[in-house]
Amino acid sequence: MSGYFKELYDGGKSLVVGLGITFKYMIQPVVTLQYPHQTVAMPPRFRGHIDLVVDEEGNNKCIVCGMCQRNCPSNCISLTGEKPEGGKKKELTAYRLDFTTCSLCGICVESCPTDALLFSKAYNLAGYSKEEFIFDLLKRSKERQK
């Protein structure tokens, strides 16, 4: 019979200790964000996928040298350009990024001689198919300007 009362005492004691911990955390401020309605502030060194940089006039800085494409270890960048008639420099016609194979190493951003690439702050990428993660960066930069 003495074992029975000892178990009751130990059970009651553990219940009081557990409730004490619960009440202690109930009065502390909430640290959880309500996700769809609140977002996390991204740190300045966050690396999202790459984006093209546009200058003050609204033109992209890319000179179609292909350094980013050649230096990419994942082979996820493909770009094309053409020289317009009467023009001196090539113009970018397509810049495609396959984000499914990108390792976010940053070699493309570092190797760009004109600083035409930077990391975006997009962190909430979700999709149902692989094709949703193949980005046309030239088209995206034109849409951002509007």
Tens-binned pLDDT, residue by residue, of the chain (146 aa): 678 899 999 999 999 999 999 999 999 988 888 887 888 888 888 888 999 998 888 888 999 999 999 999 999 999 999 998 888 888 999 999 999 999 999 999 999 999 999 998 888 888 899 999 999 999 988 888 77
Q: Is the Cβ–Cβ distance between 76 and 97 less than 8 Å?
A: yes
Identify the pLDDT of residue 111. Answer: 95
Q: Measure the CA–CA gap between 89 and 40, rounded to whole angstroms.
A: 42
Domain at 50-145, CATH class:
alpha beta
Report how far residue 79's alpha carbon sits from residue 66's, in angstroms, rounded to the nearest whole number: 7
- Give pLDDT, residue 27: 92
Output the CA torsion sign for 33, 37, 41, 45. Answer: positive
CA 52, 80, 97, 140 dihedral sign is: positive
Residue 145: per-residue pLDDT? 76
Q: Which helix (H) or strand (E) holds 79?
A: strand 77-82
CA–CA separation, 60 vs 65, rounded Å?
13
Domain ranges of the chain: 1-31, 50-145
**What pLDDT does residue 1 have?**
64
Q: Which two tokens stand for residue 55?
A: 């200058």
Contact assessment for residue 49 and residue 127, using Cβ atoms and an 8 Å cutoff: no
The two three-digit tokens of residue 44, written as one number: 């300045």
Give pLDDT, residue 18: 96
CB 124 within 8 A of CB 87: no
Tell me, what's the pLDDT at 106?
92
pTM value? 0.71
